[in-house]
Amino acid sequence: MIDVNRIRSLEGLNKLEATLNEFLSSTEIPQLYIELDWGTEDYEADCDAVRDLLEKVIKRRESLSKFLIREQSRKSVQSPSPVPVPEASASAQ
């Protein structure tokens, strides 16, 4: 099983969510299960597992988004404004 807490980027979570949604919305996958003799029970069980994982991905994305916003806010408060450095004039050389 995929541990979504190990995914540290929103891009990775978004890609995983897209893949899971593609599995759930595909009209070809149920036919593939039948062709491979996996049966509709297996397909339904896998759909349930995908829905559970999708729920975890969405929760993780929300949590990671909040964390990244807090981190960005913290960094912007901590970093002082850059001090302008006077340019050396050509006559000083």
For the cut 60, the answer to whether the pLDDT of residue 90 exceeds it is no
Instruction: Round to whole Å and give the CA distance between 59 and 67.
Output: 12
- Give the pLDDT score at 72: 87
Closest CA to 64 of 19, 17, 32: 17
Domain-located, residue 2: no
Domain that holds residue 27: 8-76
Mean pLDDT of 49-69: 96
Domain-located, residue 23: yes
- Give the pLDDT score at 87: 63
Domain-located, residue 29: yes
What is the number of domains present in the chain?
1
Q: What is the 3-state secondary structure (H, E, C) of 41-84?
A: HHHHHHHHHHHHHHHHHHHHHHHHHHHHHHHHHHHHHHCCCCCC
Please state which of the ranges 20-24, 44-48, 55-59, 78-82 shows the lowest mean pLDDT: 78-82
